[in-house]
Structure 1
Amino acid sequence: MPLQKPRLAVLDGLRFAAASAVLVYHFVAVNHHAWGERTSESLPGVQGVTAYGSFGVQLFFVVSGFVILMTAWGRDVRAFVASRAGRLFPAYWASVLLTLALLVLVVPGRRNVDLPQAAANLTMVQRAFGIPDLEAVYWTLWSELRFYVLAGVLVAVGLTRARVVAFVVLWPVAGAIATQTGSELLATVLVAPDAPLFAGGMALYLLTRDRRSPVLWLALALDVVLAAAVSGRIQAARIENSTDVVVSPATWWVAIVLCFAVVAVATLTPLARVSWGWLTALGALTYPLYLVHSSWGRWVIESVHPYLSRAATLAVAAAVCVLLAGVVHRAVERPLGPRLRHALDRDLRRDAREPDRRPAAPHDEAVPAR
């Protein structure tokens, strides 16, 4: 049984801040017509600031690298798989059903969704089969899921400091090589664009155990550079495709470095000992808030904006999304997450507990030695 890991309240607060930044980005930076006209025209001057909230995704990935290694340390692969499934799927299933309810019952006809697409989205691996995501934000879950598989392989091999150091150095480099050589399958398996972010988060966790290691600091520096050069550039292109904002190389470098810096401050300084319960409560809302905010938030904006100011409309949309996230957390995550985790852990360990009950071969069928 692994030791209880410390709860890093400031890291929880960072996760909620990242989700809030992404929410604001989707509401008032991405060019859509929820405000009655194109976002850049409806909210002039705002888009140039809120567009950078998109880098909250990269902050998520750095935090994820840290947290996944922290939770995996001391666990076997069965416990790791059960833990991740229990954490990911209940809120995700609720999000899919809430989106379907919006598209089928509340605003039917807004977007065509057929049964195969809806069913495939419940698996979280729909992208592997070329099936569109029901929500645009689900693309990050596909990256997270592939990272979890790689982390699970590392857990199965055995977590040691030397192996994790080798992993956080070689994995992003291997992903970059796969991309440059056109090995699309290998690049997909290795989560090539986001590998430096996850790996850098893992390096930060190792630094909490050994802050004076020059090897770990060099590994972290390598991951930061690769993340800025690769992931930062890709995210900048996403922003430019969704908004009227052009992101300069210097800006995306600063954004990526800040993602690592704030996680380092939250975990490697005395802030790691902060135990404010309200930050932990906000952290619990982060995942469901990220999942449910996009379509439901835009629908609230469309419904409320004709009657309220822009600022009030944004506040109402954010409040509705936080309320939905709270319902998902209390009604779905809290009761179903632990049950799913325990059920999977128990089932995965069944073979290890049960003796081999296969009948022995009859003596008269044995082949005599010659």
Structure 2
Amino acid sequence: MKAHQAQYVPGLDLLRFFAACIVMVFHLAFWSWAFPTGQVAIASHGVANFKDWTTLAPFGWAGVQIFFVISGFVIVVSAERSSAYKFFVSRFTRLVPGVWICATIALLAWLLVDVGTRPLSLFAMYVRSVAFFPKGAWIDSVYWTLGVEICFYALMFVLLLTSRQRWIKPIMCGIGLISTLFWIGYTFAAQDRNSELFELFSQVQWSRFAQLLLIQHGVFFAFGVLLWSHFSKKSSRGELAWLVLFAMGGCLQIAGESVLKLEKTGLSFSPLTPCVIWLSAMLFFWIAVANNARAQQLPDWCLQLLRRLGLMTYPLYLLHNVTGGALLGAFIEWGIPSRVALAGTIAVVLALSWWISKVPEPALQKSTRALFDTLRARWQSTSSTSGVRDAG
């Protein structure tokens, strides 16, 4: 990868933060009332009412698809010149401490709002979350994306472990192609929603196992990997054709997701708006990476701010749904006007995310890395001693 592109890309931290914010607005300002059985509605006691916020709020879920593309790009950059051990430690320390902290806060939020769920059931959900169990129920429904991310990470880890980094691009092209073909088939089958074919595709769409196989969202990870390849190596027409294909597949997935939202809420959604949001984000992505050398010349305070926004994104994503919903409901029940309550909730969640990214998360990450280093040193020492004894 060219020097300026191998460095930190501040534009991606801004894009990541934007994605987290629109997902937060979607859950707090739309899902909280449009889907009464959802966790954010339950945590807020169903008192939120933003039915006049139907212009953009219903489409913030497209931020998840943006996350997946960023992961495809960033993870392959980190994996390209990493060992399997270093990659595993970096991913573990990036994912696990944040979940341990935020899941604990979500558990406390559930206990405080008193929605009638038994504490033992909440604790079981908490354990499944902090243990990264691949299937719910989790302490917060947003944790569904973690299993999908981990499956992608696991694939990268296996390729590193077997020294097959050169296979990353062709394998991801294959995964992206399978995902795109699935959504082409789904779109075709959806023309007759009473057909057996559509029923079959719907079963796959709802399947957690298919999610973990990256059938539904593999196209986004593949798009990110192809963007990495485009900017790091000599691009070809074939590569651009793959990008166009995966862009189409991504739009078809988003259109299918719109149908899913329709089924859950009974409301009508146009797939055009979330497609425009995602495609606009991809255009920004392209510009940010292509002009990274210029971005690196921004003032230090600006780069530090962008980096902090990027670090806040993970706890923000993990906190906003249940913890944010509990705050929103409490504010409204205290007599605070809905719009002010929403603004206050967002401010509190942002402040808490900043604090987590600044204080407890780095400390826990440092301790986790130190533990891995200690265990590795002991293992190497034991292996060395065993080798000497065997030689003797």
Shift of 1:188: 4.5
Structure 1 unaligned regions, length at least 5:
363-370
Moved more, 25-34 or 345-354: 345-354
- CA distance in 1 between counterparts of 2:378 and 2:241 reads 43
Shift of 1:360: 4.8
- CA distance in 2 between counterparts of 1:46 and 1:274 reads 39
Matches within 5 A, 1:105-124: 106-112=112-118, 113-124=121-132
Identity over aligned residues, as a percent?
A: 23
**Letter of the aligned partner of 1:55 in structure 2?**
A
Residue in 2 aligned with 1:264?
A: 286
Shift of 1:186: 7.3
Matches within 5 A, 1:124-143: 124-127=132-135, 131-143=136-148
- In the alignment, is residue 304 of structure 1 matched against residue 331 of structure 2? yes
Q: Secondary structure of the equivalent of 2:386?
A: coil
- In the alignment, is residue 168 of structure 1 matched against residue 172 of structure 2? yes
CA contact (8 A) 1:99 1:296 kept: yes
**Letter of the aligned partner of 2:172 in structure 1?**
V
Moved more, 215-224 or 314-323: 215-224
CA contact (8 A) 1:81 1:152 kept: yes
Shift in CA distance, 212/352, structure 1 to aligned 2, threshold 3 Å: same
Shift of 1:118: 2.4
Shift of 1:210: 2.7
CA contact (8 A) 2:109 2:323 kept: yes
Shift in CA distance, 143/321, structure 1 to aligned 2, threshold 3 Å: same
- CA distance in 2 between counterparts of 1:35 and 1:168 reads 40
**Letter of the aligned partner of 2:69 in structure 1?**
V
Q: Secondary structure of the equivalent of 1:248?
A: coil
Residue in 2 aligned with 1:330?
A: 358
Match of 1:191 among 194, 203, 214: 214
Residue in 2 aligned with 1:366?
A: none
Shift in CA distance, 264/114, structure 1 to aligned 2, threshold 3 Å: same
Matches within 5 A, 1:173-184: 173-175=177-179
Matches within 5 A, 1:29-178: 29-30=30-31, 31=34, 32=36, 42-104=49-111, 106-112=112-118, 113-127=121-135, 131-158=136-163, 160=165, 162-175=166-179
Q: Secondary structure of the equivalent of 1:111?
A: coil
- What root-mean-square deviation, in Å, do the aligned CA atoms of Structure 1 and Structure 2 show? 3.1
**Letter of the aligned partner of 1:328 in structure 2?**
I
**Can you list the C-alpha shifts for 1:221-264, whole angstroms capped at 9, x where unaligned?**
222222222x3134213432454543334445434433422221
- CA distance in 2 between counterparts of 1:134 and 1:235 reads 23
TM-score, length of structure 2 as denominator length: 0.79
**Letter of the aligned partner of 1:22 in structure 2?**
V
- CA distance in 2 between counterparts of 1:267 and 1:243 reads 37
- CA distance in 1 between counterparts of 2:66 and 2:21 reads 12
CA contact (8 A) 2:101 2:361 kept: no
- CA distance in 1 between counterparts of 2:50 and 2:63 reads 21
**Can you list the C-alpha shifts for 1:306-339, whole angstroms capped at 9, x where unaligned?**
4333321111100111122122222321111133
TM-score, length of structure 1 as denominator length: 0.84
- CA distance in 2 between counterparts of 1:295 and 1:185 reads 21
Shift of 1:176: 6.0
CA contact (8 A) 1:126 1:132 kept: no
Structure 2 unaligned regions, length at least 5:
186-199
- CA distance in 2 between counterparts of 1:148 and 1:46 reads 37
**Letter of the aligned partner of 1:18 in structure 2?**
A
Shift of 1:91: 0.8
CA contact (8 A) 1:51 1:245 kept: no
**Can you list the C-alpha shifts for 1:190-240, whole angstroms capped at 9, x where unaligned?**
2111101011111111222136433332222222222222x3134213432
- CA distance in 2 between counterparts of 1:117 and 1:28 reads 25
CA contact (8 A) 1:82 1:344 kept: yes
**Letter of the aligned partner of 1:28 in structure 2?**
A
Moved more, 74-83 or 208-217: 208-217
